[in-house]
């Protein structure tokens, strides 16, 4: 049985701690809860307020996304091992991006032991956002969007919040108003058929008999529309999506948000022009299209489904490949043998990542095989993708391919695992399947 974990985000002063205090009080005597707090600074004020009979773990020193990514996984693991709680709440710093916390939990060592609940994002309708970019990223990440401190807001401020929430696409699962931190009970649970459930997979419109649910064919005054929703583990090829939209059928309008091999992106097509943008949305991949001719819907759908990535089975160590892709789209499949034959071998990865085991090749050697480029990303077998990093940031990072003379096992992060050199800002990645060098950013 996986333990539910909830990420509660929102800018500084939006009332995250108040919401947690109210929710913990509601669950007292019913569930054993724990809280991971990422206090900004050293005062640990939130941890002090939340103390009492609740297990509170504080990760100090600023935004966990930037300064303490390893600490989050370790904190959750310790709570699971020692306390065995019924539920865990994670409160990142108000300067953090909820999507990064969700990604760290989904990618980390505790992923198989937890069930991520809806990401709850709080907004104070009485205040204008200090950082509009961060504010937009937090809104994108919201599965549940809540206006807090509504007793202090006037009608115009609440109306402005509702209007802003109404314009969001994809829409949050729930938009609510809260007073004194009290949220609707349903804010903490996935509705049927939504979200990455531990006990109930999201319906896949490609793989199930009742396919394309909840695809909604519709027709109004000669226009025809259809919608698709895919489970959060579906991964789409960036090149396949952009090719689809570069030569579409008679498309009047298209908007979609996709988990791609380059990360999570929103794609909008209007007036024949595709507008891509990185997104903090993580709930699922989905798309809406409007066309003039209903016959075009079937062709568009076939090409959309063809853009889904089909990766090799990571359990097949003997035939495992890591694919290097350069800015032109040229693919270079590299087997374990090919990696072992390259210059730049590191016999003991502990020299780069203390406490780690195995041998590998410096990532910089792989990158020399590509032509040009400005940055690179690393893609795991589950589709999770690192943020783009400048090529010069690679440092002494190593792709590990062997352990004790044999292939690196899957339970150790194999067949290929990236260990990032200290100070580079790069991430450690298990089950690496692709390294892609980028020219201009897709966003």
Do the domains 317-438 and 218-306 match in fold? no
pLDDT(422) > 50: yes
List the structure tokens of 386. 């690192």
Do residues 232 and 103 lie in contact, with contact meaning Cβ atoms separated by under 8 Å?
A: no
**Residue 388: what pLDDT?**
87
pLDDT(146) > 90: yes
- Ranked by mean pLDDT, the top range of 52-56, 59-63, 137-141 is 137-141
- Given the DSSP bridges, would you call strands 114-116 and 87-91 parallel, antiparallel or unpaired? unpaired
**Residue 173: what pLDDT?**
93
Cross-strand pairs, 89: 6, 35
Give the integer Cα–Cα distance in Å for 305 and 308: 6
- pLDDT digit string, tens, across residues 179-198: 999 998 889 999 876 665 43
Instruction: Please provide the CATH number assigned to the domain covering 218-306.
Output: 3.30.1220.10
According to DSSP, residue 135 is labeled H
pLDDT, mean of residues 398-410: 92
**Residue 222: what pLDDT?**
66
Could you tell me which of 98, 101, 284 has the C-alpha nearest to residue 206? Answer: 284
List the structure tokens of 157. 């401020």
pLDDT(218) > 80: no
Is residue 273 exposed (0-12), middle (13-18) or buried (19+ Cβ within 10 Å)? exposed
pLDDT(295) > 60: yes
Q: Show the CA angle centred on residue 408, arms to residues 405 and 409, nearest 5°.
A: 120
**Residue 194: what pLDDT?**
67
pLDDT(364) > 60: yes
Q: Average pLDDT, whole number, for the chain?
A: 82
**Residue 321: what pLDDT?**
84
Sheet of 285-291: strands edge to edge? 218-220, 223-230, 285-291, 251-260, 263-270, 273-278
**Residue 204: what pLDDT?**
45
CATH topology (fold) of 317-438: Sulfite Oxidase; Chain A, domain 2 (3.90.420)
What are the extents of the domains in the chain? 3-188, 218-306, 317-438
Cite the beta strand spans of 38-168 per DSSP E: 55-58, 87-91, 114-116, 120-123, 144-147
Confidence class for position 60, pLDDT limits 50, 70, 90: low
**How far out from the chain centre does Cα 281 lie?**
7
Count of alpha carbons within 13 angstroms of residue 384, beta-carbon side? 19
- pLDDT digit string, tens, across residues 147-181: 999 999 999 999 999 999 999 999 999 999 999 99
pLDDT, mean of residues 283-305: 87
Count of alpha carbons within 13 angstroms of residue 157, beta-carbon side? 15
Q: How far apart are the first and last CA of the chain?
A: 39
pLDDT, mean of residues 301-325: 73
Tracing tokens 């020193």 back to the chain, one arrives at 61
Do residues 288 and 256 lie in contact, with contact meaning Cβ atoms separated by under 8 Å?
A: yes
Do residues 223 and 252 lie in contact, with contact meaning Cβ atoms separated by under 8 Å?
A: yes
Could you tell me which of 143, 246, 236 has the C-alpha nearest to residue 188? Answer: 143
- pLDDT digit string, tens, across residues 2-39: 999 999 999 888 999 899 989 998 988 889 999 988 76
Confidence class for position 319, pLDDT limits 50, 70, 90: low
120-134 CB burial, b ≥16 within 10 A, e <16? bbbbbbeeeeeeeeb
- pLDDT digit string, tens, across residues 336-357: 888 998 999 999 999 988 889 9
- pLDDT digit string, tens, across residues 222-275: 678 889 999 888 889 888 898 888 876 578 888 999 998 888 899 998 777 888
Give the integer Cα–Cα distance in Å for 26 and 214: 34
Question: pTM for this structure?
Answer: 0.71
List the structure tokens of 234. 């579906």
Residue 361's alpha-carbon distances to 115, 180, 339, 340, 393, in angstroms, are 35, 55, 7, 7, 16
Percent of the chain with pLDDT over 90: 35
Give the integer Cα–Cα distance in Å for 187 and 198: 17
Instruction: Please provide the CATH number assigned to the domain covering 3-188.
Output: 3.40.50.300
Give the integer Cα–Cα distance in Å for 82 and 75: 11
- Given the DSSP bridges, would you call strands 389-390 and 432-438 parallel, antiparallel or unpaired? unpaired
Give the integer Cα–Cα distance in Å for 396 and 227: 45
**Residue 37: what pLDDT?**
85
CA-based torsion, 264, 268, 273, 275: positive or negative: negative
């Amino acid at each position: 049985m996986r333990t539910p974990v909830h990420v509660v985000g929102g800018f500084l002063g939006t009332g995250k701690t108040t919401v947690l205090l109210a929710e913990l009080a509601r669950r007292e005597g019913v569930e054993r809860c724990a809280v991971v707090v990422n206090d900004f600074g050293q005062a640990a004020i939130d941890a002090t307020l939340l103390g009492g009979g609740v297990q509170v773990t504080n990760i100090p020193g600023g935004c966990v996304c930037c300064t303490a990514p390893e600490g989050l996984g370790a904190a959750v693991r310790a709570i699971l091992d020692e306390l065995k709680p019924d539920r865990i709440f994670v409160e990142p710093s108000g300067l953090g991006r909820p999507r990064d916390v969700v990604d760290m939990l989904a990618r980390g060592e505790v992923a198989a032991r937890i069930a991520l609940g809806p990401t709850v994002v709080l907004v104070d309708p009485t205040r204008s956002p200090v950082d509009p970019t961060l504010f937009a990223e937090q809104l994108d990440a919201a599965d549940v969007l809540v206006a807090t401190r509504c007793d202090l807001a006037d009608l115009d401020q609440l109306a402005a919040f509702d209007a802003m929430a109404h314009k969001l696409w994809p829409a949050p699962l729930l938009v609510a108003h809260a007073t004194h931190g009290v949220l609707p009970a349903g804010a903490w649970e996935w509705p049927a058929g939504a979200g990455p459930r531990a006990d109930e997979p999201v319906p896949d419109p490609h793989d199930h008999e009742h396919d394309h649910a909840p695809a909604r064919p519709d027709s109004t005054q000669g226009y025809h529309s259809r919608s698709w929703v895919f489970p959060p583990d579906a991964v789409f090829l960036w090149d396949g999506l952009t090719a689809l939209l570069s030569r579409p059928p008679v498309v009047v309008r298209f908007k979609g948000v996709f988990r791609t091999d380059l990360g999570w992106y929103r794609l909008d097509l209007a007036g024949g022009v595709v507008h891509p943008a990185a997104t903090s949305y993580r709930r699922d991949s989905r798309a809406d299209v409007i066309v003039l001719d209903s016959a075009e819907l079937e062709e568009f759908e076939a090409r959309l489904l063809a853009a889904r990535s089909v990766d090799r089975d990571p359990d097949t160590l003997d035939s495992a490949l890591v694919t290097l892709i350069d800015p032109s789209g040229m693919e270079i499949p590299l087997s374990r043998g090919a990696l072992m034959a390259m210059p730049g071998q590191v016999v003991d990865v502990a020299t780069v990542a203390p406490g780690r085991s195995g041998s590998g090749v410096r990532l910089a050697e792989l990158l020399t095989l590509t032509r040009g480029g400005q940055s690179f990303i690393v893609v795991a077998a589950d589709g999770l993708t690192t943020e783009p990093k400048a090529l010069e940031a690679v440092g002494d990072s190593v792709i590990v391919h062997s352990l004790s003379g044999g292939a690196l096992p899957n339970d150790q992060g194999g067949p290929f695992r990236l260990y990032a050199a200290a100070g580079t800002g790069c991430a450690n990645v298990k089950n690496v399947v692709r390294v892609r060098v980028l020219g201009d950013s897709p966003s």
